[in-house]
Structure 1
Amino acid sequence: MSKLKLPAVNHEKPVKLTIELPGTVHSNLIAYAEAISRETGQPAPDPAKIIAPMIERFMATDRAFRRIQKNKVPLRERNL
């Protein structure tokens, strides 16, 4: 069995966002949650709970984004 790219769902304090997703993306989130369940033997997580770890993983592996973040001036040092 292949390893999924998404690790276990972290239960940090959430920030609530309201988003709209295409139906196919929602269906794929449900399928991914079911795949996590089969791989871990745990109940399937709520599809909404796996969006944040997916985005986090995507940003962590995006080289261009990491390069931008590395060269970014911290907010407190900016002239606002």
Structure 2
Amino acid sequence: MLVATLQVKNLPDALHAQLAERARQAGTTMSDYVTRLLERDLGRPTVDEWLAAHPLPASGPQIDVRAVLDDVRAEYAPDVVAPAP
């Protein structure tokens, strides 16, 4: 099995400290902790994948799910810029 290396540049010190603390609390290395975070995230469908598998009924309310999620993300983390469509 091949094992790749991932380097994260410009990681804010506060985020690094939080990851280190979470890894310590979990009794694991930061590398293993971040690997588990990535595996968990990639195991979930993207919004587009979920919407493709769960289409809205044609007669139901027409909701711009992406716009609603962007609004919620802006409220939850206003310093994070939402990706362009």
TM class, shorter-length: 0.3 to 0.5
| CA radius of gyration, larger in | 2
TM-score, with structure 2 as normaliser? 0.45
**Of the two structures, which has the highest relative contact order with CA contacts closer than 8 Å and spacing of 6 or more?**
1
TM-score, with structure 1 as normaliser? 0.47
